[in-house]
Amino acid sequence: MVVAVRLSLLGRLARAALVAVLAAATMSACGGGDSAFTADPNEPETPGQPDAGVPDEPPTIDVEQPPPRLLSELNLLAWDRESEVVVYNDLAVPYELNTPLFSDYTAKSRAIFMPAGSSAAYDPNGVLDFPVGTVIVKTFIFADDLRTPDRDRTIIETRLLRRASSGWEAWPYIWNEDQTDADLKVGGKTLEVSFIDARGEPRTASYLVPQRNQCAKCHDRNVGPDQARILTPIGPEARHLNRDQAFADGVHNQLQYLADRGQLTGLPPLDEVPAAYDFRPVEQGGVDVVPDAELDRAARDYLDINCAYCHDPFGTNGVTSQLFLNHDSDDLFRLGVCKRPGSAGEGNGGLTYNIVPGDPDNSIMVFRVETVENGAIMPVLGRSIRHDVGAALVRRWVAAMDPVDCD
Ligand code: HEC
Ligand code: HEC
């Protein structure tokens, strides 16, 4: 199914009007429209306006029961339609990753909730070991114009991972058109989304809202006994979380913040904790802001978060293709250098090797991150348009390698 979500001016007016009548929950597309539409999200809230936050009570989460039909029933997060941000229950901890996954230029908001009295255990190499009862949420938001990314935003979906005693489960919630709540929906869809990119160019993405059984395509790892496939979180590794972030009470390192709340045990001094490359300056300033000395690390961390959940020794596709793009893979051949791909065909763009050092135009990897062609595009899921700066980074990384004659 293809649904257009580009908000017309009229749609936005209606949405703004809805904000104004949120408290009464009366849906009127005309009442109070003008004043609400001109409201500046940066202005302090008018006293007496309805608070679009989360009720001041603990989340109502029972991971052993089926999840509720409406996301609001968890009392974990809400969409503040006035300021167009996700707001969380005070007991949830919002987080960001040093290098995030690219998903067609959506903005993302993430948070972790652990039950009172429980904590995660530090792991220097993998995802933190979260306790039973943990819920991690990730919400996807489109902005109409990336030159003003904090305005005219539409909330699309909230993905939820929860740890029951039997293991992790994945649940997708899709936000309604009024942007008031999200429904549990196991069937996904493709949304044609038009927006203006950071350079002012119009772009259209065929954005994938995954169906529930697609969650496992990326979140499953062959790590169980007998290599059974087990669903796990991907992002919350110490090296991805090791960064400062503004919390309600000031700026803190995210790992330290969790530890100080008693929700992370075994955290060593921060200067001993690994950190992935901070991609934000690259996203904003372009690939040239990466110093030569940092190029390898920046590119490897980009490939790690964007590719390694499939392409590593624990990913089904990694095992099949024997292409290992995890940041700590030190086998250059398995990284793609002078490696012929397992499958021949259009996916290779007529080229022979995954990486020809010093020669990006003859490297399949560069071709596959630049293209949007079916059968060639990488990642195979979750991207429909080019990530300009990410593709430029991979190109610059390959170009900077000492030339090798693969033949
Ligand atoms: C195309 C691959 C892909 C698909 C499909 C996918 N995810 Fe993820 N997901 C990722 C990656 C990579 C991350 C970590 C990077 C990030 O947070 O940006 C992630 C992060 C998350 C997180 C935050 C915690 C974590 O694991 O890092 C949640 C929650 C989540 N996904 C839930 C889901 C659910 C539910 C579905 C199915 C509706 C789903 N995902 C489908 C790739 C995918
Ligand atoms: C959702 C899983 C998934 C993700 C994520 C993914 N790939 Fe792939 N990749 C595959 C599959 C499946 C194949 C084998 C089939 C094919 O070549 O199309 C493959 C094959 C490849 C190949 C050919 C490898 C060989 O030697 O046979 C390259 C190169 C490649 N991927 C690059 C990337 C890059 C770079 C990224 C990240 C930007 C990425 N892939 C992310 C699933 C994935």
What is the structure's pLDDT at 52?
63
The domain spans of the chain are 2-9+47-265, 282-399
Q: CA 23 from chain center: how many Å?
A: 31
For residue 349, the CA-to-ligand 1 centroid distance in Å is 29
Q: What is the pLDDT, as a whole number, of residue 4?
A: 43
Ligand 1 mutation pick, 184, 215, 303, 380, max ligand atoms within 8 A of CB:
215
> What's the rounded Cα separation, in Å, for the pair 193 and 384?
11
Nearest CA to ligand 1 atom 36: 215
- In this structure, what DSSP letter does residue 309 have? T
Atom of ligand 1 nearest to the CA of 209: 38
Task: Quote the ligand 1 centre to 27 CA distance (angstroms).
Answer: 33
Supply the residue whose CA is at minimum distance from atom 21 of ligand 2: 321
Q: State phi, psi for 42 to the nearest 5 degrees.
A: -85, -15
Q: Cβ(136) to ligand 1 under 6 A?
A: yes
What is the β-pairing status of strands 120-121 and 264-265? parallel
Distance from Cα 330 to the centre of ligand 2, integer Å: 18
| Structure token digits, residue 97 | 């990753």
> Token pair of 114, please?
């652990």
Among all bound ligands, the one having the nearest atom to the CA of 368 is 2
Collapsed DSSP state (helix, strand, coil) of residue 201: coil
Nearest CA to ligand 1 atom 40: 215
Position in ligand 1 atom list of the atom nearest CA 233: 26
State the number of CA atoms in the 13 A half-sphere of 304 facing the CB: 26
Task: Tell me the HSE value of 211 on the side-chain side, using a 13 A CA sphere.
Answer: 7
Residue nearest atom 2 of ligand 1, based on CA coordinates:
218
Instruction: Specify the pLDDT at position 24.
Output: 30
Average pLDDT, consecutive stretches of 10 residues, N- to C-terminus, the chain (407 residues): 40 37 30 31 39 82 96 96 95 97 96 97 96 98 96 97 97 96 94 94 95 93 80 97 95 98 98 97 95 98 96 80 92 96 85 97 98 94 96 98 95
Nearest CA residue ID for atom 5, ligand 1: 215
Residues 321, 332, 215, 138, Cα dihedral to 10°: -170
- Ligand 1, residue 382: give the atom nearest the CA: 1
CB-based burial label for 374 (10 Å; 0-12, 13-18, 19+):
exposed
81 token code pair: 């339609």
State the distance from the centre of ligand 1 to the C-alpha of 19, rounded, in angstroms.
30
Q: How far is the CA of 93 from the centre of ligand 2 (A)?
A: 33
Answer whether 382 contacts ligand 1 (Cβ < 6 A): yes
- Residue to probe by mutation, ligand 2, list 103, 234, 311, 320, most atoms within 8 Å of CB: 311
- CB-based burial label for 126 (10 Å; 0-12, 13-18, 19+): middle
Centre of ligand 1 to C-alpha 32, Å, is 38
Distance CA 344, CA 12 (A): 48
Dist. CA 236 → ligand 2 center (Å)? 23
Which pLDDT does position 318 carry in this prediction? 66
pLDDT value of residue 45 = 38
Kindly state if the Cβ of 243 falls inside 6 Å of ligand 1.
no
Q: Which ligand is nearest to the CA of 336?
A: 2
Question: Ligand 2 centre and the CA of 321: distance in Å?
Answer: 7
* Residues having CB within 6 Å of any atom of ligand 2: 217-218, 303, 306-307, 309-311, 317, 321, 323, 336, 339, 341-343, 347, 354, 364-365, 368-369, 378-381
Q: How far apart are CA 220 and CA 227, in angstroms?
A: 11
Residue 371, pLDDT score: 97
pTM, two decimal places: 0.89
Cα Rg, the chain, nearest whole Å: 22
Q: pLDDT value at position 384? A: 96
Which atom of ligand 2 is nearest the CA belonging to 316? 12
Q: Is 67 in the pocket of ligand 1 (CB under 6 A)?
A: no
- DSSP for 320-349 reads HHT----TT---TTTTTBTPPPSS-SGGGT
Which ligand 2 atom sits closest to the C-alpha of 342? 27
Q: Is the CB of 94 under 6 A from ligand 1?
A: no
pLDDT for the residue 356: 98
CB-based contacts of 160: which residues, under 8 Å, 6+ apart?
67, 71, 135, 136, 137, 170, 171, 172, 173
